Amino acid sequence: MRRREALAKLTGRERYVDDLPLDDFLWGMTVRSPAPRGRVTAIRFGTDIAWPEFVVVDHRDIPGPNVVALIEQDQPVLAAGYVRHVHEPVLLLAHPSREALRRAARSIEVVVAPEPPALDFRAPPGPAEIQYGTDNVLKRLQIVKGDVERALARAAVVVSGTYETGAQEHVYLEPQGMIASFEGAVLVVKGSMQCPYYVLKALQHALAREEALVRVIQTPTGGGFGGKEEFPSHIALHAALLALKSGRPVKLIYDRGEDMAATTKRHPALVRHRTGLGRDGRLLAQDIEVVIDGGAYVTLSPVVLSRAIIHAAGPYACDHVRISGRAMFTNAVPFGAFRGFGAPQSQFAGERHMDVIARTLGMDAVELRRINLLADGQSTATGQVIQDGTDRLAVMERALELSRYREKQRGHAAFNATHATLRRGSGLATFYHGAGFTGGGEVALQSRVRVAGRPDGRIEVLSANIEMGQGTLTVFTELAAARLGVAPEDVTVAEADTARVPNSGPTVASRTTMIVGGLLERAADDLRRRVGLDDTARGAAVQQAIRRWHREHPGEPLVGEAAYERPPGIAWDDTTYRGDAYGAFAWAAYVAEVEVDLRTCATRVIDFVAVQEVGKVLNPTLAKGQVQGGVVQGIGWALMEECKWREGAMANNQLTNYLIPTSDDVPSVRVAFLENPYPHGAGGAKGLGELPIDGPAPAIANAVARATGADPRAIPLTPERLMELLEIADFGLRIADSAP
Amino acid sequence: MNGHSAIRNPQSAIPITFTLNGKPVSLGVDPAARLLDTLRYQLALTGTKEGCGEGECGACTVYLDGVPVNSCLVPTYQVRGQRVETVESLEPGALEPFERCGATQCGACTPGVVMTASWIREHPELLATHSIRELMAGNLCRCTGYDGIVDSVAEALREPGSGKRDT
């Protein structure tokens, strides 16, 4: 099936939040902290502004607790006399003219008495920089399997390495925005978001309103990638506060500069590996330390750290593993959810480290992976026994074959030996990604989905999971149609409006198709039972029964429902971090071929092969598009996307100097799927959306190492960074790795 | 954070006339108004999107006298007497290859992508000197990885009717 809303998007008819018609409204704007830390001693309003025309909101206007409710209750809606990061919201303004508003906002000076900020998450904070607990550690987590110290002491070889990854800006093409208004006593907030019920919860909490007096509606969302997971709650609250005070609809739309400066980014990370190996290259012990920069508030850092450490050991069998994780408080703009959610950072380190090990042992990087990849019956770092029947070696072999890895390696050796200025190489990464919330997270969410039968026999899917480009509307339509045997045209997917749809959990963590889709299938079964049919009834019989039911029960709603149930045989202990971290893992092997120009030190990806096993592929066009988009976002993170920091805030908050890949920067991404249906996922599917961003960065760094002989340990591998590495490695003289 | 420093005064509106999607339009515009805002907020043509406001992303692409431009960089008063065409002027039937090949995901870049792509389709001679990837490089997309877009343009070029328009 083709994407449901494709034509509306292609013709420009799709209405995003800033496109909605709105009468007699005010524009909203946020006034922010200029300093990373300190007491707000004064707020000076410009003298040439007609202030009575403006609505001005500060923390005293918040009806309930001044907190954006999330994991912790630590982040204020508006700073109350103290700021912890640059761009922290201090005041809100509204006015009918956007231009007048901008002028007024510029006239305001927020005066801060500075205190020493913590700005480097890698270094222990000085005494004056401690602002969280006794050591600025927001969260500590550990995974222990076996006895790592003993195994390291006995290992024939120990290889150590330190790896770093930078922040990444989401650059969803639609900047964030919200509209708040009142329908009678009900506050209605509409906007671009991934998680309507997160926004609802935050509004209820800080505005001290009961659920019946708040309604949240997701508008078509122009990309999210995690950036619209937790942050939209802030904008929703800000717009709502202005609407409350003014009594008028308020529209608060960020422009690109504000969006890049003030919203969350991918957590920067530092990962240290100490690996014990046998002479044959078998992994005997993995001692791993993962440190991430959380920024100035907790946001989602504890769960990002959790996913980072769970994925840190890679898809390999090893009996002795210790993974220690820390999320650090700093006075940076808070970091948050971004596609992959910690796993890209820890797997960059892990997969680059595999190549460093191979080089240290004088071993082939493919062979090293071949002897260590998890086989069925073996267990991950948390002790989760993998028993899914997926042939992980076959996934890797397919990637090697499609990329003509061996043949190209020989070709590269010849090319590099003769070419004056260009160096080519291929790099491999084998990796995995767990789908759904970690551990007991899905149980805690208690997700519910409804499938309604309409009087005309049509089917309506009701869930809080949203379309942001990844294809929810299409896949949900296909799943409902297939389950009930009806035509896709007879299926509608309800707008994600909290007044109508149940809380099926957030649209994150590669969970929508696999988990929520599974609930949808069971809700469809429930609908069928409610009209007196068994699970074998399909198509016209179902629709006739629905119409008959409505004739017999005029005016009553006909709704099937399903709630989440943990798949059998899954157990997780959150206190020891032992057990089944995820219901299912998707597996992948990616190969990048790069060309490095030694004159400019610029790296270009000239071929990319992405092979993965994601259960059953439900919609080949959408699935391929997810992989290609994820890979290109990963190429950007690996090579060019660099946040420049000034006092913990992004200094290059423009698309002019924060570069993301254009069509001309990347090759065609060649995608292949191996299918092994997952019995507990909708239609046999596993989660797919995040997996493709885990592999490109290590594959590319490994390829650059092979091409140039340099030993990159940090990304983005910009020309400047590579130039330093090549100078260290005798620029221009080094013969590229020519081992076959 | 976008710099708009001009002092605005409603009395300073400049009357202008131009052709929009084939029809004449007359209106008063602020001298500092961007064509993007005039289209979206004054004329309610919201198909044209703002992605960056500084001419980097191409989401606001429109044709000015038949040539693709970033409407966020065009002061509206400059289009007086000119032809402006927006995504709303495109024939939906011609967009079938884009629907089929996965050219759109979130859709925020899509109107701009479709405008540039349609322009390439009308000027296939450009392919003699430029690749589709080069010609599409002014339109950032964060979802598709570009394959869906590039494939769609290639498909559209194969369809009858390609290259019929002149500027």
Give A-chain residues touching B110 at CB under 8 angstroms.
9-10, 12
Quick one: CA torsion of B99, B103, B107, B109, rounded to 10 degrees?
A: -140
Does the distance separating the beta carbons of B1 and A664 come in below 8 Å?
no
Question: Total structural domains in chain B?
Answer: 2
Q: Which residue of A9, A632, A656 is in closest CB contact with B104?
A: A9
* Domain boundary pick from B88, B116, B131: B88
Range A6-115+170-262: architecture per CATH:
Alpha-Beta Complex (3.90)
Q: Under a CB-based contact definition with an 8 Å cutoff, are residues A514 and A584 in contact?
A: yes
Does the distance separating the beta carbons of A664 and B134 come in below 8 Å?
yes
Does the distance separating the beta carbons of B1 and A257 come in below 8 Å?
yes
Residues in contact with B166: Cβ distance below 8 Å, sequence separation at least 6, in sequence order: B66, B122
What amino acid is encoded at A284 in this protein?
Answer: L
Q: Please check whether residue B164 lies inside any domain of the structure.
A: no
Beta strands in A104-153 (DSSP E): 109-114, 137-145
Q: Under a CB-based contact definition with an 8 Å cutoff, are residues A449 and A462 in contact?
A: yes
- Residues 75-94 in B contacting A (C-alpha not used; CB under 8 Å): 86-88, 90, 92
CA angle (B51 as vertex; B50, B55 as ends), nearest 5: 90
Q: Under a CB-based contact definition with an 8 Å cutoff, are residues A237 and A202 in contact?
A: yes
B39: closest CA of chain A, how far (Å): 11
CA angle (A416 as vertex; A415, A417 as ends), nearest 5: 95
Same domain? B84 vs B115: no
Q: Please check whether residue B121 lies inside any domain of the structure.
A: yes
Q: Please check whether residue B120 lies inside any domain of the structure.
A: yes
Give B-chain residues touching A50 at CB under 8 angstroms.
none
Q: What CATH class does A441-563 carry?
A: alpha beta
| CB contact B51 to A (< 8 Å) | yes
> What is the reported pLDDT for A137?
98
Which chain A residue shows the shortest CA-CA distance from B58? Answer: A173
Asked whether the domain spanning A441-563 has the same topology as the one spanning A6-115+170-262, the reply is no
Domain holding B121, by residue range, is 90-158
Fill in the DSSP letter of residue A167: -
pTM for the predicted model, two decimal places: 0.97
A697: closest CA of chain B, how far (Å): 15
> What is the reported pLDDT for B159?
84
Q: Please check whether residue B3 lies inside any domain of the structure.
A: no
What does the block give as tokens for A677? 């249906």
Same domain? B101 vs B56: no
Q: What are phi and psi of A604, to 5 degrees?
A: -120, 130
Which chain A residue shows the shortest CA-CA distance from B99? Answer: A6
**Consecutive 10-residue averages of pLDDT for chain A (740 residues):** 97 98 97 98 97 98 97 96 98 97 98 98 97 98 98 98 98 98 98 98 98 98 98 98 98 98 98 97 98 98 98 98 98 98 98 98 98 98 97 98 97 97 98 94 95 98 98 98 98 98 97 97 98 96 98 98 92 94 97 97 98 98 98 98 98 98 98 97 97 98 97 97 83 46
Report the candidate in A183, A181, A27 with the shortest Cα–Cα distance to residue A105: A27
Q: What is the Cα–Cα distance from B46 to B43, expressed in whole angstroms? A: 8
Bridge partners of A285, per DSSP, are A276
Burial, A80: exposed, middle or buried (Cβ in 10 Å; 0-12, 13-18, 19+)? middle
Same domain? B20 vs B52: yes
* Domain boundary pick from B69, B88, B107: B88
Same domain? B114 vs B83: no
Does the distance separating the beta carbons of B140 and A660 come in below 8 Å?
yes
Does the distance separating the beta carbons of B1 and A12 come in below 8 Å?
no
Sign of CA dihedral A701, A702, A704, A705: positive
Give A-chain residues touching B40 at CB under 8 angstroms.
18-19
Give B-chain residues touching A261 at CB under 8 angstroms.
1
Does the distance separating the beta carbons of A12 and B48 come in below 8 Å?
yes
Q: Under a CB-based contact definition with an 8 Å cutoff, are residues B61 and B71 in contact?
A: yes
Element (H, E) at A498: none
CA angle (A72 as vertex; A381, A570 as ends), nearest 5: 35
Does the distance separating the beta carbons of B99 and A7 come in below 8 Å?
yes
CA angle (A666 as vertex; A663, A672 as ends), nearest 5: 110
3-class SS at B38?
Answer: helix
Same domain? B106 vs B133: yes
* pLDDT tens by residue, chain B, 167 residues: 333 334 445 557 999 999 999 999 999 999 999 999 999 999 999 999 999 999 999 999 999 999 999 999 999 999 999 999 999 999 999 999 999 999 999 999 999 999 999 999 999 999 999 999 999 999 999 999 999 999 999 999 998 777 655 44
Same domain? B96 vs B142: yes
Q: Which residue of B56, B101, B106 is in closest CB contact with A468?
A: B106
Q: What is the Cα–Cα distance from A192 to A499, expressed in whole angstroms? A: 17
Give the DSSP per-residue string, B43-57. Answer: S--TTS--SSSSSSS
Same domain? B82 vs B102: no
Give the DSSP per-residue string, A426-470. Answer: EEEEEEEEEESSSTTHHHHHT-EEEEEE-TTS-EEEE-S---SSS
Topology of the domain covering A269-437+579-728: Aldehyde Oxidoreductase; domain 4 (3.30.365)
Domain spans, chain A: 6-115+170-262, 269-437+579-728, 441-563
Could you identify the residue written with the tokens 């090990």?
A357
Same domain? B78 vs B105: no
Count of Cβ atoms closer than 10 Å to residue A478 Cβ: 22
Q: What are phi and psi of B72, to 5 degrees?
A: -75, -15
Give A-chain residues touching B132 at CB under 8 angstroms.
663
Question: In whole angstroms, what separates CA A197 from the centre of its chain?
Answer: 18
What does the block give as tokens for A631? 């890979």
The residue count for chain A? 740
CATH of the domain at B46: 3.10.20.30
- Residues 3-32 in B contacting A (C-alpha not used; CB under 8 Å): 4, 8
What does the block give as tokens for B84? 């402006």
Give A-chain residues touching B155 at CB under 8 angstroms.
none
What angle do helix axes A620-639 and A696-708 make, rounded to 10 degrees? Answer: 50
* Domain boundary pick from B42, B67, B88: B88
Q: Please check whether residue B1 lies inside any domain of the structure.
A: no
What does the block give as tokens for A572? 């997780």
The ipTM value here is 0.96
